[in-house]
Structure 1
């Protein structure tokens, strides 16, 4: 199968596309990696499930980010889904002026089984191993096997919608619903 070509629709500006995409509410995540003694991470919303059997995620990362080369070199990373109280952590990891360890100054971080940093009290953390990496336009598209999952239910999620961080009330867990 050939790699998809990036084809722009005539007259469709990137700004117009971004304006439309701001209407897609998305969970806010911190993507983290560890390689050769260095940690890196970034705030992202471009994370989605590919399939449950085997558990697989798709994660899109800007290739110009500080985190992309570390993720590529490590071959593994973590996806930390943020709770409502993590807006300060999200802002810190979105700050392009901060590098490496400076980003990890907020939040409680532990090394996951795969070595990538895991945020304590994230609503969920997916430890991943890269299975494939494609490049389309400005981004790298990681397809990754999920090797371990940590879940903290009953917490309000942090979402991104229309350029702002918003929250929803915590959902009742499936076990509580019966």
Structure 2
């Protein structure tokens, strides 16, 4: 049997892109930081998945609203990622950047590398998490350089200029 702490330490070595997952409930925006976002299929219907711990405050809101938006963060959004990672900074989450509703009403970050607005297609329960499969119904792709914010070793990081010159 693998010790859960060892498993978590091993997974921290897997660098992942940082996303803010948002949703809307009764006119109130909700969101959290996630690194477990994956493309599932481009055809016939663009679909992605997000793994969400059931203890996350947005978990039940996503299920009830049947929609969510995956906002891929860039290096300049480090402070925004921190705000969405801590309940102590909840009041800053939607007040410091430009957000717009796309098709579902879930907030899309205008400065994100990309925002995928999704209708909830299916939910799969696995232990402490739910896998939300989202059918992408709208997409925001702003112009600009691609400098993703990443998470590795238990902290936010960037690829750095050396990686961009390879």
Shared fold (TM-score, shorter chain, > 0.5): yes
Describe the superposition over 1:86-113 as per-residue Cα deviations: whole angstroms up to 9, x where unpaired.
00000000103344x5421232212222
Coordinate RMSD, CA, aligned:
1.8
Aligned residues: 161
Structure 2 stretches of 5 or more lacking a match?
Answer: none
Q: What secondary structure sits across from 2:124 in the alignment? A: strand
Which of the pair has more CA radius of gyration? 1
Offset of residue 171 of structure 1: 6.2
User: Hey, what does 2:132 align to over in structure 1?
Assistant: 142
Question: Partner residue of 1:84?
Answer: 75
Tell me which residue corresponds to 2:5. 15
Q: Is the 8 A contact 1:84 1:158 kept in 2?
A: yes
Deviating above 6 A after TM superposition, structure 1's stretches of 4 or more consecutive aligned residues are none
Question: Under a length normalisation based on structure 1, what TM-score does the superposition of the two structures give?
Answer: 0.84
TM-score, with length taken from structure 2: 0.90
The counterpart of 1:62, out of the listed 53, 70, 73, is 53
Please list every run of 5 or more consecutive structure 1 residues that lacks an aligned counterpart in the other structure.
1-9, 173-178
Trace 1:1-178 onto structure 2 (pairs within 5 A).
10=1, 12-53=2-43, 54-99=45-90, 102-152=92-142, 153-168=144-159, 169=161
SS in 2 for 1:40: strand
